[in-house]
Amino acid sequence: MPTIEADRDDADRPAAAAGPAMPGRLRVGGCDAALPLVTDRLVLRPPTADDIAPVVAMAGVWDVARCTAKIPHPLTEQDVAAWFARGAQDLAGGAAVVLLVTERAGGAVIGAVDMNWRETWPAAEIGYWIGQPLQGRGYATEAVRALLGLAFDTLDLAEVFASAEAWNAPSLRVMEKAGLRPDGQTLTVPAPARGTTWQHDRQSITRSRWSQRRAEAARIVLVVAAALVDRDGRVLLTRRPPGKPMAGLWEFPGGKVHDGESPERALIRELHEELGIDVRHACLAPLTFASHAYPDFHLLMPLFVLRTWHGRLTPREGQEVAWVRAARLRDYPMPPADPPLIPALQDLLLG
């Protein structure tokens, strides 16, 4: 039975020890600790014994195991316990990290990531998997981005690489979205579930490229939005149409502020374009704002409250609309920037 992570001989480590020291131990817990990693939707934390059963249930599925370089099939509780023990040892030794991917809301374990810099320092190899019911929601990309932050910000590594089979399009897409690119090297990778090895094209990202992407992502995009409130105190949400980023999510009507426009003028224009209504500047009451780091830009979005407008409200872009009671706003899935706006609206409307 292959183990979940093959033992590796530290003597094989390249002569990196001649240069600066390998990163030290990562501190876990506490406000200034490196771990856990927290993202919009996830907490990435070291495993505990309570996680063995859920991990076996998820990673024991053939369609998960067959794509990884670590998971044997069938998978036993002993395999997972050994993997966790090895992870704890590596974490303590400052050589690698194994983190479970858990949902911030509810704390359920949904997958795992690992990063190993023992043999490859000052580069690191990463791996990731998400359990089947939760695939396709961008969790792996979110987790990998957090791992890159750990690699470059905290551990000061020079490069991070990963690889996947050419048929594993979802995994390759995760790398692409996280900024990794094919670098012309090939890797021989174990495939324990299949009892073989694979030749993979390696994909990587250097620290300088990652810093450059991060600087681009810090670009502030000013978007302005309105909470239209009707006579019954309900709030208008509109649904992002198919084909747009974050399609299907419910948001406040509005849009980007163009060069030379004030936020109020931009909002008046957007509300006319999107909903066919005419709005007077004096009817826009500033309420609160959203400030959120999306992967490729930083959103700054003032939210105005609007109770009076002229004209018949008509969704002009084919978008779905809903009038929602303040107490029900959280029932509507929104872009990640929006939920922090809800308490201010509820305070205003529910008193």
Ligand X SMILES: Nc1nc2c([nH]c(=O)n2[C@@H]2O[C@H](COP(=O)(O)OP(=O)(O)OP(=O)(O)O)[C@@H](O)[C@H]2O)c(=O)[nH]1
Per-residue x/- track, 58-87, ligand X (CB under 6 A): ------------------------------
Q: Using the minimum distance from each CB to ligand X, give the nearer residue, 72 or 254.
A: 254
In this structure, are residues 171 and 67 in contact, taking their beta carbons and an 8 Å threshold?
Answer: yes
Task: Tell me the three-class secondary structure of 90-154, residue by residue.
Answer: HHHHCCEEEEEEEECCCCCEEEEEEEECCCCCCEEEEEEEECHHHCCCCHHHHHHHHHHHHHHHH
The least CB distance from residue 335 to ligand X, in Å, is 3
- CB 209, min distance to ligand X, A: 24
Nearer to ligand X, 296 or 347 (CB): 296
Residue 270 CB, nearest distance to ligand X (Å)?
7
- Distance in Å, CB of 63 to ligand X, minimum: 32
Residue 56 token pair: 């076996």
Q: Please identify, using beta-carbon distances, which residue of 254 and 263 lies nearer to ligand X.
A: 254
Residue 58 Cβ, how far from ligand X at the closest point, in Å?
A: 30
Closest CB to ligand X among residues 52, 225: 225
Restricted to residues 296-315, the positions that interact with ligand X (CB under 6 A) are: 299
d(CA 76, CA 73): 8
- CB contact at 8 A, 234 and 241: no
Q: How many residues bind ligand X (CB under 6 A)?
A: 14
Measured from the CB atom, the residue of 127 and 335 that comes closer to ligand X is: 335
Using CB under 6 A as the binding rule, whether residue 5 contacts ligand X is answered as no
Q: Which of 254, 289, 304, 342 binds ligand X (CB under 6 A)?
A: 254
Task: Work out whether 35 is an interface residue with ligand X (CB under 6 A).
Answer: no
159 within 8 A of 58, measured Cβ to Cβ: no
Interacting residue with ligand X among 100, 152, 338, 345 (CB under 6 A): 338
Q: Which of 56, 264, 335, 342 binds ligand X (CB under 6 A)?
A: 335
Q: Are 126 and 161 in contact (CB under 8 A)?
A: yes
Two tokens, residue 13: 């480590």
Q: How far is the CB of 256 from ligand X (least distance, A)?
A: 4
Interface with ligand X, residue 235, by CB under 6 A = no
The reply to whether 284 sits near ligand X by the rule CB under 6 A is no
Q: Which of residues 192-231 bind ligand X (CB under 6 A)?
A: 223, 225
Please enumerate in sequence order all residues whose Cβ is within 8 A of that of 229, keeping only pairs 6 or more positions apart, or say none.
235, 236, 305, 306, 307, 349
User: Which is closer to ligand X, CB of 191 or CB of 226?
Assistant: 226
Instruction: Output the CA torsion 128→132→133→134 (10° steps).
Output: 20
Q: Is 246 in the site for ligand X (CB under 6 A)?
A: yes
User: Does the protein bind ligand X through residue 255 (CB under 6 A)?
Assistant: yes
Helix (H, G, I), strand (E, B) or coil at 53: helix
Q: E strand or H helix at 224, and its extent?
A: strand 220-228
Q: Is 271 one of the binding residues for ligand X (CB under 6 A)? A: no
Q: Which stretch binds ligand X (CB under 6 A): 14-22, 61-69, 240-248, 325-333?
A: 240-248
Least CB distance from residue 225 to ligand X, whole Å?
4
Q: How far is residue 312's CA from residue 258's CA, in Å, rounded to a whole number?
A: 26
Q: What are phi and psi of 95, to 5 degrees?
A: -120, -25
Task: Give the angle subtended at the CA of 239 by the CAs of 236 and 244, to the nearest 5°.
Answer: 145
Query: Which CB, 82 or 348, lies closer to ligand X?
Result: 348
Alpha carbon of 111 to those of 62, 204, 255: distances in Å? 14, 22, 35
DSSP H/E element including 305: strand 298-306
Phi, psi at residue 17, to the nearest 5°? -60, -20
Contact set with ligand X (CB under 6 A): 223, 225, 244-246, 251-252, 254-256, 299, 335, 337-338
